[in-house]
């Protein structure tokens, strides 16, 4: 394979690099930097597929490499973010000897609880979904279940809402342990559900065949403009609702 044909794989490795940097920032609780590098990784995830199609350089190696990168960027990163959020919600940090929710673990002077580790179930669910995607020949023009990048954006938006939006009820909701547990369970379900969702792949720019896609993009702009980071979960909800209006024949290809 020529050097130019390796360009998609190089872009995929940039996705993995950005995801790895995002992991470091997530572990250190720097959520804005985490979101920035995760978003860059997701952009590279989009560009590698685009480059592969334009260069006609699709390959089994590229498919596997893409999923390995996505496990980090769209799987491990949101899992760690949820771990940190659950830790904040239970008021547990290194050296804190009082756990207010859940059983306490004691490892060489560091106290924690079982609960935050539940967040890593998002990582497991994303990895399982990506493995299924690789062997599912049906998901060429649509998705079964929520794509892992969309799920990652939804999870990582939560700490940004707490940091940058002043509504106290949103902060109280997001830092409620029960809400975070429910969000984790819902996330794992949506990733591996059999719900059919349209893909944002335009075979042409004609209006009528892509009406639902154009409506969704317009809703995305409006929701993000009106609600900032709080609009991200609303965009995911709009994605599910818009998929209800897709022509069923598109899901049978």
Domain spans, the chain: 4-252
- Given a cut of 50, is residue 28 above it in pLDDT? yes
pLDDT digits (tens, 9 = 90+) for 32-80: 999 999 999 999 999 988 888 888 777 888 888 999 999 999 999 999 9
Tell me the C-alpha distance between 111 and 26, whole Å: 20
Q: What is 4-252's CATH number?
A: 1.20.120
pLDDT grade for 93, boundaries at 50, 70 and 90: very low
Q: Helices (DSSP H) in the chain: which residue ranges? A: 7-27, 31-54, 60-71, 77-89, 121-135, 148-164, 168-174, 177-191, 211-227, 231-243
Tell me the C-alpha distance between 233 and 220, whole Å: 10
Does the predicted model carry a pTM greater than 0.75?
Answer: yes
- Given a cut of 80, is residue 237 above it in pLDDT? yes
Torsion of CA 9, 64, 33, 213, to 10 degrees: 90
pLDDT digits (tens, 9 = 90+) for 109-156: 555 578 899 999 999 999 999 999 888 777 667 889 999 999 999 999
């Amino acid at each position: 394979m020529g050097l130019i044909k390796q360009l998609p794989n190089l872009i995929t490795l940039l996705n993995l690099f950005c995801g790895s940097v995002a992991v470091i920032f997530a572990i250190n609780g720097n959520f804005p930097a985490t979101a920035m590098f995760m978003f860059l990784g997701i952009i590279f995830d989009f560009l590698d597929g685009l480059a592969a199609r334009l260069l006609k350089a699709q390959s089994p190696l590229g498919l596997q490499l893409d999923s390995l990168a996505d496990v980090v960027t769209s799987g491990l990163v949101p899992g760690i973010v949820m771990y940190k959020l659950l830790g904040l919600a239970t008021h547990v940090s290194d050296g804190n000897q009082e756990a207010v929710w859940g059983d306490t673990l004691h490892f060489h002077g560091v106290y924690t609880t079982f609960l935050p580790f539940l967040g890593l179930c998002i990582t497991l669910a994303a990895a399982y979904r990506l493995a299924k995607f690789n062997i599912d020949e049906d998901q060429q023009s649509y998705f079964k279940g929520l794509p892992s990048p969309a799920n990652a954006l939804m999870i990582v938006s939560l700490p940004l809402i707490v940091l940058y939006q002043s509504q106290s009820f949103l902060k109280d909701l997001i830092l409620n342990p029960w809400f975070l547990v429910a969000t984790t369970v819902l996330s794992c379900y949506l990733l591996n559900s059999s719900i059919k969702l349209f893909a944002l792949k335009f075979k042409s720019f004609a209006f009528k065949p892509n009406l639902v896609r154009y409506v969704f993009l317009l809703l995305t702009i409006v929701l993000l403009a009106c609600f900032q980071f709080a609009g991200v979960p609303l965009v995911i909800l709009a994605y599910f609702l818009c998929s209800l209006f897709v022509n069923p024949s598109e899901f049978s290809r």
